[in-house]
Structure formats: C-alpha cells, structure tokens
Amino acid sequence: MESTMIRDMTRGPVVPQLLRFAFPLFVSNALQAVYNLVDMVVVGNCIGKAGMSAVSIGGDVLHLLTFVAMGFSSAGQVIIARSVGTGRYDEIKKTIGTMFTFLLSVSLGISLVCFLLRHQVLRWLNTPAAARAFAMDYLITCVCGLFFIYGYNIVSAILRGMGDSRRPFLFIAIAAVLNTALDVIFVKYAGLKVFGAALATVIGQGVSFLTALVYLYRRRESFGFDFKPESFRIDRAAFRRLLALGVPMAIQSAAISFSKIVLMAWINLFDVTYSALAGIFNKVNTMCGVVSQAFTAAGSTMAGQNLSAGEHRRVRQILLTILMIGLGLSALATAGMLLWPDAVFGMFTPDPDVLGAAAVLTLPIILNFYGSATRSAAFSLINGSGRAKLNLAIAIIDGVISRIGLAALLGFALGLDCFGFWMGDSLAGFMPLVIGGTFFLSGKWKEPQKTA
C-alpha cells in the first residue's frame, strides 16, 4: 500500500511543484547557514580575528568530517525517491535501517579518531599561534556532536526522499533559533568565548536530531519502518545500492572539503588576518549556496522519480527551471555585493585589519554565486539519474584536480597569494556545469539504471 507520507511528483505542473518542494528546503538551508554564520558573527564581534580564525578552521574540519553523512544520506534520499517512483516500497524500509546503522556507527568512529589526532590536525593546518587554543576548543566540542549531525542528515534524507521537505525545515528552525540564542548567552554574557559558540552549535544540532527522530518514530506505520532492533540490521542488497551511489557522493563531498582544508592550510601560512578572511569567504559562500543546495535536493528527488517513470520531458523542464531561477538570484546577489560590500564584510567584525583587506574577496565571491547556480542543475540530473561513476568523476575533477590545481597555479605559480587561492576555488566551481552539460547533451541520462 502506498504511504501517505510519499508525494508523487511525476504529474502536474512542474514549476509550482518544484517551488513548493524547494522553498521549505531553501528556508531550511538558509536557517542552517544562518546558525553556522552566527558563530562567526558573534565570535568576530566579541573576540576578534583570532576567534574568527578558530571558528573558520574548526568549521572547515567539521565540514570535512561530515563527508560520509552528506554523501550517503544524499544517496539514500535518491534511492528512496527512485523506490517511490518504481513503487518498490519494501526497499524503503531496508534502506532506512541500513542508513541508520551504518552512518551512526561511522560517526562514532570518526569522532574517536579525530579526538585522538586533534593536536596533529591543527599542526597540519598551520593554525596561527594566536588562534590555536580557540581552535582546539571549537574542534573538540564539535567533534563530540558529530553523532547528532549524522543523525539529522539521515532523518532529513528519509523524509525528503519521500517528498516531505517541510518537516526538515521545522527541525532545523529549532536548531537555528536555539543556537542563535545560546551563542549570544554563552559567548557574550557567560564569557565562554569560542567554546561557547561550539557548545551552542552542538546543543542546537542535538535537539534538532532528537526532535526529528521522535517525529519519524511517531509516524513509523505510514512508511513501514517499525524501529524494532531487527529492522536496523544492514540489508546486503540495500547496502550495495547505498555503497554504489553513496561512495562517489561521499568522495565528492570529501574531495571538495579536503580541497578547502588544503587552501586553509596555505592561507594560514600568511597571517591570522587572512585566516579570518577565509572564514568570511566560506560563510558568504555557504549563504550563496543555500539556493543551490535547496534546488539540488528538490531537483534530485523530482528527477529521480520522473526518470524512473520515463517522464523525460518533465526532467528537462525541471532542469531549466532550476537554472533560470539560480542565475536570476545570482544576478541580484552580485548587485548587492557590488553596491554594499562594506555592509557584507562589516557584519562579521569591526577589526580594521580584516576590513581593510576584505576587498580581495569580492570577485571570488561573485564567481561563486554563478558557480552555485549552475551546479544545482547539473547535480539534479546526475544525482537523480543515479550515475555513480559520473559523481566520482566530478569528485576527482572538481574537488581535487581543479580546486587544488587552480589554487596552486594562481596562488603560488603566478604569485597571487591568497587572492589566487580563492579565485582557484571559485573557478573550479564551474566544473560540474561542464560535466553535467556534456552528460545532458549526450542523452545518456535517459537510459535506465539497474537496481541491485
């Protein structure tokens, strides 16, 4: 029997349906970006550039550590969506149980390893001496909350794969409000400094995950997962499907995060001011990626269902709509960046050294606007069609070769230093468009994929 939680997106007008699905994701991602942004803003205004550097370094490491959660939860979302499109509801239960057991186990293992290597990690990143103690506080605290990040990604992927994008928005809204309030209390009033910012983040993530888990448990009968111990056994067929799509997606996520870690280590060789600027660059790009992430998630689910149902014309409409909306919003963001750069940079910190050098970020940030817009259309098609090998190719080309290679070329070989590093990162963001566009023109995305 078809679940009442499952939304069929193979019928009806494409544009309203896409917007209805993407809007809650957009708001959810915006809230998630805001509560990540709050750490930087509060710390930058209360502590200064040393605190900003610590949050930037710790945040980049934490993002790298979530690569398994990001990759495999995205894969699980696509698998669930494709199971819905083909009417194989028995696969949904097996995918859910396998995701929970595998990913939560991985989160505990990664946390342990990272804790044991915490001193080496900060040395590898060339952490400035002025920021080392703060960075250690932030890193250790956030690593302890990695379990909650993985858990939230699992529950959100389950709901979104079945067409429910509203509940994940509500859960992340809880985290955003709680984190913002606790950031101000812990950092500004309790004097906990960077540790307080990290603690606020972990508490927000924990409450969000537990709230989402309770919601899923209470509605377990509507999608056939009973939460009994035997349901959490790893199903071999489901695990093979998850590995086939999840490994390339995880590598892709890890590759991009790894490249940012490498760039951060290079930037830290210069000065704590540039380390603080790297934090601003990453946070602004996170905000500009909000729309891209929302439409990628919505587009992947819609494309997955429609490809399984053989609705190729609707897939084209989905991709075109995503691309046009992304480019339009990028143009608006560019205008805002050029007209009010002082307002953008000034919200992070009053530090004169940081603000005096901030203009170096303007062009790389603008390029990232358009890179994010084009990536969403490309990944919607690639992820929705379940092309594991293509995801792996993008992971290697975009995440490693292009980002690190272009950054090294512009920064070291051409002597552009930190500006070159940031430009290389931005230019590499267009690689998914090149690969995804080639894939689209080839027509191979219409060919059905085998299910293990």
Residue 452 pLDDT: 43
Domain ranges of the chain: 14-446
Alpha-carbon distance of 126 to 267, in angstroms, equals 9
pLDDT at 451 over 50: no
pLDDT, tens only, 70-101 = 889 988 888 888 777 666 777 888 889 999 99
Structure tokens at 431: 């690689």
Q: What is the pLDDT of residue 390?
A: 81
What digits encode the pLDDT tens for the residues 339-394?
999 999 999 999 999 999 999 999 999 999 999 889 889 988 988 887 867 877 87
pLDDT, one tens digit per residue, over 211-243 is: 989 988 888 777 677 888 888 999 899 999 899
Q: Cα separation of 43 and 131, whole Å?
A: 12
